[in-house]
Amino acid sequence: MAKVEKKARSEGALSDERLRELFREMLLIRRFEEKVEERFRAGELPGFLHVAIGQEAVASGVMAGLEPDDTIMSTHRAHGHTLAKGTHPNAIMAELYGKTEGCSGGFGGSMHLYDVANGMLGANAVVGAGLPQVTGTALAYQFRKEDKVAVAFFGDGATNTGVFHEALNLAQLWKVPALFVLEMNGWAESTPMSQHLPITDLSQRAVAFGMHSIDVDGQDVEAVFTATKEAREYAASGKGPVFLNVRTYRLVGHYIGDPQVYRDKDELNELRETKDPIELLRARLELSDDEFEQLDTEVTAIVEESVAFAKAGTDPAPEDALKWVYA
Ligand SMILES: Cc1ncc(C[n+]2csc(CCOP(=O)(O)OP(=O)(O)O)c2C)c(N)n1
Ligand SMILES: [Mg+2]
């Protein structure tokens, strides 16, 4: 029978030094996304953009628990995952500006970030669409006997799609080395979970397939790390895929510019004060104001440099409009 584990806080799994590195990375993701929001509002970025402010500990915690050769796939909310996987901020910012120096050659934009060399096999704007691709990727690793795990990020809304059920069913049947990381932020666009899901404990969706599931506090980067490491060992040892039921908070709108009229303002303000993963880790590490300022200055400079790099980039040539189009 499939198990659901409840992960308590897991203090002590990471050294203070490693936690500080993760703090710096989470702060880089935050400052990067704040800059993306600012530049989008200034009219410089084409397309439609979603940031994951409030969910940084999921990206950093999962990536810290993986091995370098493991691969991920992501969603419309992919900046943090891609940065944490190791793609250079310049390559992501250039992609958002639609430049050929971007990680997808300027053809993808925010919802189609790719960096295969770094193990980022693609973000996907179609909700749930990455899930069967992750099952297939993990099946390839199993066939080739490669010590690699394929990881899918997706949201609570995605668990209502047909492909979610197909992907998990086959992944469990074939016992492929995959991790299914649910970022349970309680919203699908402006629809609260209570209006799109008949259950509240989404680990039941994995257990329905006999899949091992672990509940995780997504605001605690160390807890996310510990659960991911354990899940990775389980999946890589041939026991089958693992579902990570990660509770997290989207502390901003669904898309940049979302007025969030559907959300209670006081409740949102309270969440921002009590559930910000960066503030929680800052308090835990007891960072002084000076230490924080120093890290903030460093990561802000990296973000500024990425904007300068992107703005100096090359526009794709009109005759290349059909390049990479296969069908
Ligand atoms: C197949 C499909 N249906 C609908 C949409 C429109 N859409 C974009 S994001 C989204 C909500 C997704 O919610 P969730 O999976 O919880 O991810 P979150 O936005 O919370 O990160 C929807 C319905 C889409 N992009 N693709
Ligand atoms: Mg959601």
Span 124-177, pLDDT tens digits: 999 999 999 999 999 999 999 999 999 999 999 999 999 999 999 999 999 999
SS3 assignment, position 296:
helix
Question: How far apart, in whole angstroms, are the C-alpha atoms of residue 103 and residue 78?
Answer: 13
Distance in Å, CA 124 to ligand 1 centroid: 10
**Cα torsion 300, 305, 310, 312: sign:** positive
Q: Is the whole-model pTM more than 0.75?
A: yes
Question: How far apart, in whole angstroms, are the C-alpha atoms of residue 38 and residue 269?
Answer: 20
Question: How far apart, in whole angstroms, are the C-alpha atoms of residue 225 and residue 89?
Answer: 22
Cβ proximity of 250 and 277 under 8 Å:
no
SS3 assignment, position 267:
helix
Domains and CATH numbers, the chain: 4-142+149-200+240-309 (3.40.50.970)
State residue 12's pLDDT score.
73
Which residue lies with its CA nearest to atom 18 of ligand 1?
A: 155
Distance in Å, CA 256 to ligand 2 centroid: 15
Which residue lies with its CA nearest to atom 17 of ligand 1?
A: 155
Q: Looking at ligand 1, which atom is closest to the CA of residue 183?
A: 21
State residue 211's pLDDT score.
98
State residue 196's pLDDT score.
97
Nearest of 58, 271, 282, 15 to residue 181 by alpha carbon: 58
Per-residue pLDDT band at 113 (split at 50, 70, 90): very high
Helix (H) or strand (E) run with residue 73 in it = strand 71-74
Report residues whose beta carbon is within 6 angstroms of any ligand 1 atom: 76-77, 125-127, 154-158, 185, 187-189, 250, 254
Q: What is the mean pLDDT of the chain?
A: 96
pLDDT digits (tens, 9 = 90+) for 44-62: 999 989 999 999 999 999 9
State residue 10's pLDDT score.
60
Question: How far apart, in whole angstroms, are the C-alpha atoms of residue 9 and residue 217?
Answer: 8
Q: Looking at ligand 1, which atom is closest to the CA of residue 50?
A: 19
State residue 13's pLDDT score.
87
Question: How far apart, in whole angstroms, are the C-alpha atoms of residue 137 and residue 130?
Answer: 10
Looking at residue 316, what DSSP letter applies? P
Question: How far apart, in whole angstroms, are the C-alpha atoms of residue 86 and residue 291?
Answer: 24
pLDDT digits (tens, 9 = 90+) for 193-233: 999 999 999 999 999 999 999 999 999 999 999 999 999 99
Distance of CA 164 to the CA centre of its chain: 17
State residue 319's pLDDT score.
93
CA atoms within 13 A on the CB side of 133: 18
User: Quick check: 9 pLDDT over 90?
Assistant: no
Per-residue pLDDT band at 64 (split at 50, 70, 90): very high
